[in-house]
Amino acid sequence: HKKLKPFPKDFLWGASTSAYQVEGANLTDGKGPSCQDVKKVPEGTSELDVCADQYHHYKEDIALMAEMGFKTYRFSISWSRLLPKGTGEVNPLGIEYYNNLINECLKYNIEPLVTMYHFDIPAALDEIGGWGNRKVIDCFVEFAKLMFENYGDRVKYWLTINEQNMLTLVGPLIGTFNAPKDCTNVTKELYQQNHHMLVAQAKAMALCHEMLPNAKIGPAPNISLVYPASCKPEDMLAAQNFNAVRNWLYLDMAVYGVYNNLAWAYMEEHDAVPVFAPGDEEILKSGHPDFIGFNYYNTSTVEFPGADEKDGTQNDQQNGGVEAGFFKGFANPNLPRTEFGWEIDPQGFRATIREMYSRYRLPMIITENGLGAYDKLEDGKIHDPYRIEYLRKHIEQMQLAITDGAEMMGYCPWSAIDLISTHEGMVKRYGFIYVDREEFDVKNCDRYRKDSFFWYKKVIESNGEDL
């Protein structure tokens, strides 16, 4: 038996949500629409105007989080609630809502961990081209400044952009990608938008350090190691290729301010090299994260594609699609799957943390990890042993990674409370707290404690010793 190192004393146990998935009140009290409000929700899934109705239940929700013993709560601030048009006029009721939410957290000594942007660009900015338009960089910096001014006296931990890598790799699937009508090279457009987000992120990190010297800020990509499907040398090359465009592109840039060379070669090959404006190079080097936040759900596996396999197959969130001569997604036969078909790989979590630490040497916080399932409410109870098992195994592997020498600051699984899933609406639940509503019948959104709620409380109380 290995002797395990304990979790650090001030380890930030908590959980996550995002504004457009949890708040509801999407056009209430002066909030402008975001891209999520105007895009067509996937057919057969719920509207976003109620979600978990946290906007009206935040006191109850934070009290429940405090009951579990949360040390932190990761939530996102809706850009169009503060700036209904994405720039210019400020919505005072929006400012007030997050003041209240932050104060409510602090009342229970819960550290707010704020994501600045989680999949919900204001619709007004989308109309001018979204991230394809360089002006949006300045709008983002304006939004960042507004948040730092209003909340910087109380918020110590900031995250820039949630899953920027997924916005680029599967943006068209998430519904966040905005291509001009005459766009002939989607890959080029995606990497130009990505470049603008990278510049915006670097500027926000530098501004945070300038305005709030005691605060800490970092990126929040979705990171997971990519395995080669076999020990064939070409499969190793495919895994390195996908690792570069899936993971390292984003972190090499956030941490070192440079484009990963394999990712750059990929962009060259696809005529997708981004245009740099004067000064971009310096800006990209000026943003230094204090830590890395990352979401982990599962690993990916790839093989080297045959010569006749072409580009253009749609990527999926997990194993990617086919990129000619680069990589091809491969279902890993060694891993079980969730009810929704996502592979489950706790050891891959340890491997990912090890790799991240040896590449970047920064402390890390897990900003998402979790299992979506069809939970059932019966007699006021929700038995979710599958979720407990998933989380337990991941926490065990995180502790092994700490024992391996990685520096971990906290763990925020997805999600604190049931909310609208990105693709599957309300039926795919992730929370410790059950929200009593159906896909289309929103009922009263009453809250119930799941079995995992009581289990997680015990985990936090024992600082991860009682799993």
**Which residues form the catalytic set?**
368
Q: Which of 111, 110, 100, 113 is nearest to 59 (CA)?
A: 100
Q: Which residue in 422, 425, 434, 452 binds ligand BG6 (CB under 6 A)? A: 422
Fill in the per-residue mask, 424 to 463: x = in contact with ligand BG6 (CB under 6 A), - = not in contact.
----x-----------------------------------
Residue 18 binds to ligand BG6 (criterion: CB under 6 A): yes
Please select the residue that binds ligand BG6; options are 163, 280, 345, 418, rule is CB under 6 A: 163
Residue type, 445: C
Nearer to ligand BG6, 177 or 259 (CB): 177
Contact flag: residue 338 with ligand BG6 (CB under 6 A): no
Length of the chain: 467
Contact flag: residue 369 with ligand BG6 (CB under 6 A) = no
Asked if residue 220 lies in contact with residue 367, where contact means CB atoms within 8 angstroms, the answer is yes
Q: Which residues pair with 157 in a beta bridge?
A: 113, 216
DSSP code at position 13 = E
Tokens 């300045």 belong to: 138
Based on the shown chain and the rule CB under 6 A, indicate whether residue 288 belongs to the binding site for ligand BG6: no
295-314 residues near ligand BG6, rule: CB under 6 A = 295
- DSSP class of 420: -
CB of 60 to ligand BG6, least distance (A): 22
Q: Is 57 in the site for ligand BG6 (CB under 6 A)?
A: no
DSSP for 109-134 reads TPEEEEEEESS--BHHHHHTTGGGST
Nearer to ligand BG6, 191 or 297 (CB): 297
Indicate which single residue of 33, 69, 293, 372 sits in contact with ligand BG6 (rule: CB under 6 A).
Answer: 372
SS3 301: strand
The two structure tokens encoding residue 451: 């079995």
Nearer to ligand BG6, 406 or 420 (CB): 420
Q: Which of 306, 169, 162 is nearest to 232 (CA)?
A: 306
User: Which residues, 6+ apart, have CB-to-CB distance to 53 below 8 Å?
Assistant: 23, 24, 25, 435, 442, 445
Q: Applying CB under 6 A, does 36 fall inside the site for ligand BG6?
A: no
Cβ-closest position to ligand BG6: 421
Query: Using the rule CB under 6 A, which residue among 85, 423, 449, 457 binds ligand BG6?
Result: 423
Q: Going by C-beta distance under 8 Å and a sequence separation of 6 or more, which residues neighbour residue 288?
A: 205, 209, 255
Burial of 5 (0-12, 13-18, 19+ CB in 10 A): middle
Considering only the stretches 5-13, 161-169, 331-339, 389-397, report the one whose residues sit in contact with ligand BG6 under the rule CB under 6 A: 161-169
Q: How far is the CB of 117 from ligand BG6 (least distance, A)?
A: 11
Residues in the interface with ligand BG6 (CB under 6 A) total 14
| Binding flag, residue 414, ligand BG6 (CB under 6 A) | yes
Cα angle vertex 229, ends 223, 232, to 5°?
125
- Which residues contact ligand BG6 by CB under 6 A? 18, 21, 162-163, 166, 222, 295, 368, 372, 414, 421-423, 428
